[in-house]
Amino acid sequence: MQIRTLGKDLRVSAVGLGCMGFSHAYGAPTEEKEAIRRIRQAAEMGYTFFDTAEVYGTPEDPHINEQLVGEALAPMRNQVVIATKFGMRFDFESGKVPLPLIPDSRPETIRQSVEGSLKRLKTDHIDLYFQHRIDPQVSPEEVAEAMKELIREGKITHWGISETNEEYLRRANTACPVTAVQNRYSMMARHYEPLFPVLEEMNVGLVAFSPMANGFLTGRYGKGEAFDPKNDYRASMPQFTDEAVDQNKELLELLQSMAEQKKATPAQISLAWMLCKKPWIVPIPGTRKPERMKENAEAADIVLSAKEVQALDHALDSMEMSEVFGGTKLSGQKK
């Protein structure tokens, strides 16, 4: 697979593998041995960038995904880039189902988190350490200082912020240079596009999470899908309701027709659209299925001209679409 550079020097496959779904949010966790086998298959296909987090697991076993990723990648540790995240934990006191995650980026918590992640990932350093969510109780400078120390100690080599806004990013980057942000970005969730000029100016990459709108943009999920509300977050995602399938008819048709033109699939077009937009965008689609890993990786070979990307943007701007999970707008944004 082609290689892209995040920030100054972090070289990763153009499409990374989001590993969350093996353990969290998309139904029951995949059996451990099987999950390890599939992550290794991804590496054989050319994926060199793997994304996990301290909290991708079940409330009973919150760190299961990091363990899995660590075990799977241990034999090829020096050939791959591992991104993980700190700064979130299950809120056991809330009593809600599923249990919500709450932010906690106090420096003392970060210290504990990094030690746990290093152990579970079976490594002496984390390549890209993301703050999972901004913690309103902790300033960006304090978090950046903690990152600076971890870099000095060799425990992490690069850091980033997930779901950040411009002000937080600028302040954090001044205290300790940021390599990438990891924000939600897809054809259905474009609210971070106003941040692009800032990322370009600061030479910060964008790792795009949920790049296929949690799978909806693949066109493989229609009416009557039955997701288990106990462990499958899609059960409450607005884009998967029967009504949304009707509201998004034009979007799915657009993807299908572009796919036919390019001899590709809608999933591949949804990824190629962002890959061809900026050389510093790296989507991390999540899948547990090897044939889909291959399909998603091949999106990096699809060429959409600047005109084609613009035409897609224009069409997206003007069509009706349903709400999408997490598609909140940046404060101060008019649209």
Q: Quick check: is 129 catalytic? A: no
Smallest distance, ligand NAP to C-beta of residue 284, A: 5
Nearer to ligand NAP, 253 or 305 (CB): 253
Exactly one of 56, 129, 185, 192 is catalytic; name it: 56
- Determine the Cα–Cα distance for residues 187 and 316; give it in Å rounded to an integer: 7
In our burial notation (b when 16+ CB lie closer than 10 A, e otherwise), range 157-186 reads bbbbbbbbbbebbeebbebbbbbbbbbbbb
Residue with tokens 């001899």: 263
Residue 16 in contact with residue 223, Cβ under 8 Å?
no
Q: Which of 70, 160, 285, 327 binds ligand NAP (CB under 6 A)?
A: 285
Residue 51 binds ligand NAP (CB under 6 A): yes
Residue 210 binds ligand NAP (CB under 6 A): yes
For the chain, give me the number of helices (H) and strands (E)? 11, 12
Q: Which of 188, 195, 199, 212 binds ligand NAP (CB under 6 A)?
A: 212
Smallest distance, ligand NAP to C-beta of residue 152, A: 25
Residue 299 in contact with residue 227, Cβ under 8 Å?
no
**Stretch 52-111 residues interacting with ligand NAP (CB under 6 A):** none
User: Cβ of 111: how many Cβ atoms within 10 Å?
Assistant: 15
Q: Which of 1, 7, 26, 49 binds ligand NAP (CB under 6 A)?
A: 26
Q: Judging by DSSP bridges, how do beta strands 81-86 and 49-51 pair with one another?
A: parallel
Smallest distance, ligand NAP to C-beta of residue 83, A: 8
Number of residues that bind ligand NAP (CB under 6 A): 29
Which positions are annotated as active-site residues? 56
Give the interface with ligand NAP as residue ranges (CB under 6 A): 18-21, 26, 51, 132, 162-163, 182, 209-215, 218, 220, 267, 284-289, 292, 295-296
